[in-house]
Amino acid sequence: MEETKNRGKLGFGLMRLPKIGEEFDDEQICRMVDAFLAAGYTYFDTAFVYLGSEEATKRCLVDRYPRDAYTLASKVNVGVVKTAEEAKQQLEISLQRTGAGYFDYYLLHALMPDRYKKFEEYGLWDYIKEKKAEGVIRHIGFSFHATPEILEEVLSAHPEVEFVQLQINYADWENEHIQARKNYEIVRKYGKKVVIMEPVKGGRLADPDEAVKALFDAVNPDATYASWALRFAAGLDGLLAVLSGMSTIEQMEDNLKTMTDLKPFNEAEQEAIDKAMDFYAHPVTIPCTACRYCTDGCPMQINIPEIFKAYNIVLSGGAMWEAGPAYKRATKESGKASDCIGCGQCESMCPQQIPIIETLAKIAEKLEKR
């Protein structure tokens, strides 16, 4: 299951593709795909719920390259369906959207504490094993956002799993909510390959807190902050791919530079990373990665990620006069934090398990009464 001869196993996450307005920027996406493949990398990752991503994958990858030039992953998500049949139909729809013929890697998407048993109830484990036997799927895995105890339960029950996609980055390594290190260690205990998602934490570690920037700048001022995050993730053992959700050709070029000539941390760099991990072990900011899973079904059309981003200005030591305008921009054409009706749709979809309802109420109290 090795994907590249390059030292760093870079994967192209197709969730945050560049757009011009509401339309995908196919010209830039094609340039990114070309650069990625030219550098010797092959792992592309999309999903049924990444709106427009599978179709863009067809236009910019599948229609332009022979099928053996790349490997492609997609996913089935039970959070957007009400029946087992609807869930099973996602595979056929994804195959139609991408035109790929088969998926090299197919994942049960986002196993979370209140959702992971749905995959059993809907018979999806047996279904994807059947599809693997038919050749429609080559390798079976799942992506995971829950506790080490649940992870152990799933891996023990399903020896057919070949790889697990985990959220791993230096900020979450010792974070008591994400428990990245513990989850990674369990996957390796079972001898499974690891696909890393969110190595740059949705872009947050490309622009980390000022205290972390100071740590890194003191040791290696020429390195981009994103490269620190990628090097941490890529330095782990047992990797199938480190997914980076690249949105610009510049991000692609920086990631290729980092991963193609991947260097382990020297002593000073390792010390800086250790201190950064300590800094983030007990976060004070809202750990939102702007995946936007929470927004699609919000009945009040609240732009939750942008509201959280505005409030994080305050939580990270910024001034209220900075957060206020950011909050107004976040709510200019959508619902305010106080519009939340507490339906819980957003919390059921949040991979970071953020208490969104409670947090929105707190933000409304702080930012709407100024």
Q: What pLDDT does residue 360 have? A: 94
* Helix residue ranges per DSSP H, the chain: 26-38, 53-57, 84-98, 116-121, 124-134, 148-157, 180-189, 210-219, 225-234, 249-260, 267-280, 304-315, 320-331, 345-349, 356-367
Q: What pLDDT does residue 162 have? A: 98
What is the Cα–Cα distance from 367 to 370, expressed in whole angstroms? 6
Q: What pLDDT does residue 316 have? A: 67
Q: What pLDDT does residue 164 have? A: 98
Q: What pLDDT does residue 297 have? A: 85
Q: Please state whether 292 falls in left (phi above 0), alpha (psi between -120 and 50) or beta.
A: left
DSSP state of 5: S
Answer yes or no: is pLDDT of 2 > 50. no
Q: What pLDDT does residue 369 have? A: 72
Cβ atoms within 10 Å, residue 37: 17
Q: Please state whether 172 falls in left (phi above 0), alpha (psi between -120 and 50) or beta.
A: alpha
Taken in order 48, 176, 251, 187, is the CA torsion positive or negative? negative
Q: What is the mean pLDDT of residues 251-271?
A: 95
What is the Cα–Cα distance from 218 to 241, expressed in whole angstroms? 30
Answer yes or no: is pLDDT of 217 > 90. yes
At 84, is the secondary structure helix, strand, or coil?
A: helix
Answer yes or no: is pLDDT of 280 > 80. yes
Q: What is the mean pLDDT of residues 56-60?
A: 98
Residue 331 has phi, psi (to 5 degrees) of -115, 10
DSSP state of 21: T
Helix 225-234 and helix 267-280, axial crossing angle in degrees, nearest 10: 100
Number of residues assigned to the chain: 370
Q: What pLDDT does residue 5 have? A: 41
Lowest mean pLDDT among 50-64, 193-207, 285-299: 285-299
Answer yes or no: is pLDDT of 318 > 70. no
The chain-wide mean pLDDT, for the chain, equals 93
Position 7 confidence tier, pLDDT thresholds 50, 70, 90: low
Q: What pLDDT does residue 6 have? A: 42
pLDDT per residue over 86-138, tens digit each? 999 999 999 999 999 999 999 999 999 989 999 999 999 999 999 999 999 99
Answer yes or no: is pLDDT of 1 > 70. no
pLDDT per residue over 138-189, tens digit each? 999 999 999 999 999 999 999 999 999 999 999 999 988 789 999 999 999 9
Structure tokens at 164: 């697990």
**239-244 and 193-197 as β-strands: parallel, antiparallel, unpaired?**
parallel
**163-167 and 239-244 as β-strands: parallel, antiparallel, unpaired?**
unpaired
Structure tokens at 209: 């807190």
Answer yes or no: is pLDDT of 246 > 90. yes
Q: Name the residue among 285, 129, 142, 135 with its Cα closest to residue 201.
A: 285
> Which residue matches tokens 């593709």?
17
Q: What is the pTM of this model?
A: 0.85
